[in-house]
């Protein structure tokens, strides 16, 4: 099935749900999630982010250095190529055509309309000069538009250079010397805030744990870190936690790298609520989007698969959308770090 036709079938499905929901106070919960492939495979899809101003899903192909924009309403997919490892990508508050992008250890503003091959860049800052082979990994903007971007040590087939990851908070004022929020870590990864914006959730992948902090939005401060979920307690669950988001009920959704699944976790009880299978073992990240914010976009990777595994997982590296999860999310925050470039 072509990408366009799978997007069309996704629309038919969604309009069906919307027609049902007109009759009721609450949209019915269909129980079984539906999975749609929304892009062809790339090497290592990561960092999905939804911009409801343009109905665009951005994501990156990290090692290829590519930024993609999926125009959700038409299924059109465009990309640009930067020099370096590219992640994350965060649209700007004042101008949706300025994307704030991690490129190796650099924070770069990229002016791109999401369509053409032309773009302009401006270097904003470089972090972790003491770890020259480290690079940015996951990141988001907070409600004030500050960047929370984390890094990880150099990775090859033997693993990741340990203790070289740092989670930074980057603001307009501290571009020359971004603030260290968590260090050292091994692989700085998924992060999100609860709806009340007084809790912050964070993943250092090899720990297999989710840590919750108290969050002060005015100061941009995190305190009292404590473990709220530990994958080691669930024998049947494989893989390590990677990207993460949160739903309108304040439950966490976590991509499992090496786990063939996305999981739903209640951070208040530490309970595993749901396991949703994905037809690729390396699930990298999750993000709510779509016109009703009720599709969970899921990125996957094939970069570390053998030839034989690639044959068995032909969809690995695709972006998927999960519909019918019975919940939805919020539009993520935009970066507020530059106005013009």
Ligand X SMILES: *[C@@H]1O[C@H](CO)[C@@H](O)[C@H](O)[C@H]1NC(C)=O
Summarize as ranges the residues that interact with ligand X (CB under 6 A).
Answer: 162-163, 184-186, 206-207
Between residues 162 and 314, which has the closer beta carbon with respect to ligand X? Answer: 162
104 is catalytic: no
- CA nearest to 225, candidates 246, 200, 244: 200
On whether 155 is known to bind a ligand per the annotation, the reply is yes
- CA nearest to 284, candidates 242, 323, 312, 321: 242
Between residues 66 and 138, which has the closer beta carbon with respect to ligand X? Answer: 138
Alpha helix positions (H), the chain: 3-21, 307-312
Shortest distance (Å) from residue 204 CB to ligand X = 6
On whether 179 is known to bind a ligand per the annotation, the reply is no
Distance (Å, rounded) from C-alpha 210 to C-alpha 316?
25
- CA nearest to 285, candidates 37, 36, 45, 42: 45
Catalytic entry in 138, 242, 294, 334: 242
On whether 111 is known to bind a ligand per the annotation, the reply is no
Shortest distance (Å) from residue 222 CB to ligand X = 16
Q: Which two tokens stand for residue 32?
A: 């079984």
Distance (Å, rounded) from C-alpha 321 to C-alpha 295?
6
Other CB atoms within 10 Å distance of the CB of residue 198: 12
Shortest distance (Å) from residue 206 CB to ligand X = 6
Between residues 182 and 262, which has the closer beta carbon with respect to ligand X? Answer: 182
CA–CA distances in Å: residue 103 to residues 37, 38, 294, 310: 27, 25, 30, 27
On whether 46 is known to bind a ligand per the annotation, the reply is yes
Shortest distance (Å) from residue 182 CB to ligand X = 9
Between residues 165 and 243, which has the closer beta carbon with respect to ligand X? Answer: 165
Q: How many CA atoms lie within 13 A of 203 on its CB side?
A: 30
On whether 106 is known to bind a ligand per the annotation, the reply is no
Which residues are annotated as catalytic?
242
| Annotated binding-site positions for a divalent metal cation | 46, 189, 242
The annotation places the binding site for substrate at 135, 137, 155
């Amino acid at each position: 099935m072509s990408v366009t036709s799978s997007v069309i079938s996704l629309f038919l499905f969604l309009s069906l749900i919307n027609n049902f929901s007109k009759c009721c106070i609450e949209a019915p919960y269909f129980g079984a999630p539906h999975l749609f492939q929304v892009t062809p495979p790339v090497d290592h899809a990561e960092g999905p982010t939804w911009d409801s101003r343009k109905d665009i899903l951005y994501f990156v192909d990290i090692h290829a250095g590519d930024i993609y924009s999926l125009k959700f309403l038409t299924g059109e997919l465009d990309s640009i190529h930067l020099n370096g490892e590219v992640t994350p990508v965060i649209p700007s508050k004042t101008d949706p055509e300025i994307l704030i992008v991690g490129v190796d250890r650099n924070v770069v503003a990229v002016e791109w309309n999401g369509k053409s091959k032309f773009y302009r860049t401006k270097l904003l800052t470089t972090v972790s000069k003491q770890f020259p082979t480290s690079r940015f990994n996951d990141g988001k903007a907070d409600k004030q538009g500050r960047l929370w971007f984390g890094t990880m040590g150099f990775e090859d087939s033997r693993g990741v250079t340990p203790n070289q990851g740092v989670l930074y908070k980057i603001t307009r004022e501290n571009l020359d010397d971004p603030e260290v929020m968590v260090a050292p870590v091994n692989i700085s990864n998924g992060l999100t805030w609860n709806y009340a914006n007084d809790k912050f959730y964070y993943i250092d992948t090899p720990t297999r744990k989710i840590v919750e902090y108290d969050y002060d939005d005015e100061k941009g401060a995190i305190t009292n870190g404590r473990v709220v979920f530990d994958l080691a307690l669930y024998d049947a669950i494989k893989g390590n936690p990677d990207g993460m988001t949160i739903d309108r009920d304040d439950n966490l959704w976590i991509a499992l790298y090496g786990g063939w699944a996305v999981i739903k976790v209640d951070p208040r009880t530490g309970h595993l609520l749901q396991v949703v299978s994905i037809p690729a073992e390396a699930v990298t990240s999750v993000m709510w989007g779509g016109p009703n914010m009720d599709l969970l976009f899921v990125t996957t990777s094939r970069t570390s698969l053998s030839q034989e595994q690639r044959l068995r997982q032909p969809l690995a590296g695709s972006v998927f959308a999960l519909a019918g999860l019975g919940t939805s999310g919020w539009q993520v925050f935009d970066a507020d770090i530059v106005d013009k470039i």
